[in-house]
């Protein structure tokens, strides 16, 4: 058994080294379930029943993308994706990925507040698997940290969960779905309704927190 594992590692190492002699390709993809975008090596993509899928590592994804590591087909997650574009230029792929992340995550938020506050939105953190790493001692603090990682005070103060009191509704936007998934994955057993309550309460007190620079 150990010999077989050693041989498997040697094969993976050999194949990885062989990548240096091949053209490196990157794909910009949207994860269908999460509605988020990533830059991935082309070799992480595969077709099944005429549907495009992508392997995704459980950790250190950024480093694995940079090294164009071969996917571990047995242990990596498999996600349904939509491919936007491909390129062999790493820096260009990074730029396309950031642009696609913003457009995908905010595509249903056309009436979101415009101006300098939009620059505070962190496109890199607007991805569920990244937001799950934010952490927090309890669901409430975890939710607030996730929200703080996604956008600035000036953005959140314009929203309420259902759009009451002349504010913009958050509940039907893609970013709300991302927030809920991130918090639920970080807090197993918590119900979606509870997360929505925490978000609603946080939005309610955001103007005061914004003034006091506490949120």
Q: Quick one: which of 101, 102, 203, 98 has its CA closest to 153?
A: 203
What residues contact residue 146 under an 8 Å CB cut-off, 6+ apart?
A: 131, 134, 136, 179, 182, 183, 186
Chain CA centroid to CA 173, Å: 15
pLDDT at 25 over 50: yes
pTM exceeds 0.85: no
Query: What is the 8-class DSSP label of residue 22?
Result: S
How far is residue 137's CA from residue 149's CA, in Å, rounded to a whole number? 16
Average pLDDT, the chain: 75
Q: In what order do the strands lie in the sheet with 26-31?
A: 36-41, 26-31, 77-87, 51-56, 45-48
pLDDT (tens digit per residue) in 65-108:
988 899 999 999 999 998 888 888 888 888 777 766 655 544 43
Separation in Å, CA 17 to CA 12, 21, 64, 69: 9, 8, 14, 10
Chain CA centroid to CA 149, Å: 12
pLDDT at 48 over 50: yes
Higher local confidence (pLDDT), 201 or 209 = 201
pLDDT (tens digit per residue) in 53-70:
999 998 888 889 988 899
3-state helix, strand, coil in the chain (%, to 5): 50, 15, 35
Q: Looking at residue 30, what is its pLDDT?
A: 84
Separation in Å, CA 186 to CA 80, 128, 210: 22, 10, 26
CB 142 within 8 A of CB 210: no
Most confident range, picked from 5-9, 111-115, 118-122, 168-172:
168-172
CB 136 within 8 A of CB 142: yes
CB 94 within 8 A of CB 39: yes
N- to C-terminal Cα distance for the chain?
53
Q: Does domain 116-212 have CATH number 1.10.10?
A: yes
Q: For the chain, which residues make up each domain, given as ranges?
A: 7-89, 116-212
Q: Looking at residue 18, what is its pLDDT?
A: 40
How far is residue 167's CA from residue 162's CA, in Å, rounded to a whole number? 8
How far is residue 45's CA from residue 58's CA, in Å, rounded to a whole number? 16
Q: How many helices (H) and strands (E) does the chain have?
A: 8, 7
pLDDT (tens digit per residue) in 102-160:
555 444 334 333 333 333 344 434 466 677 778 889 999 999 988 887 777 677 888 88
């Amino acid at each position: 058994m150990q010999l077989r594992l050693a041989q498997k590692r040697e094969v993976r190492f050999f194949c990885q080294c062989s990548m240096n002699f091949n053209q490196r390709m990157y794909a910009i993809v949207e994860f269908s379930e999460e509605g988020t975008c990533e830059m991935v090596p082309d070799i992480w993509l595969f077709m099944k029943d005429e549907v495009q899928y992508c392997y995704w590592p459980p950790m250190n994804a950024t480093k694995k993308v940079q090294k164009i590591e071969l996917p571990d087909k047995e242990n990596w997650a498999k996600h349904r994706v939509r491919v936007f574009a491909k390129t062999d230029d790493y820096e260009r792929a990074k730029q396309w990925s950031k642009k696609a992340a913003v457009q995908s995550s905010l595509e249903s938020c056309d009436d979101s507040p415009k101006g300098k506050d939009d620059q505070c939105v962190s496109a890199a953190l607007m991805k569920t698997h990244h937001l799950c790493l934010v952490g927090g001692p309890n669901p409430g603090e975890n939710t607030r940290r996730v929200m703080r990682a996604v956008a600035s005070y000036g953005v959140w103060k314009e929203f309420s969960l259902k759009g009451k009191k002349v504010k913009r509704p958050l509940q039907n936007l893609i970013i709300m779905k991302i927030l809920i998934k991130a918090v639920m994955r970080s807090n197993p057993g918590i119900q979606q309704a509870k997360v929505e309550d925490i978000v609603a309460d946080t939005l309610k007190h955001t103007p005061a927190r914004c003034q006091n620079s506490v949120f």
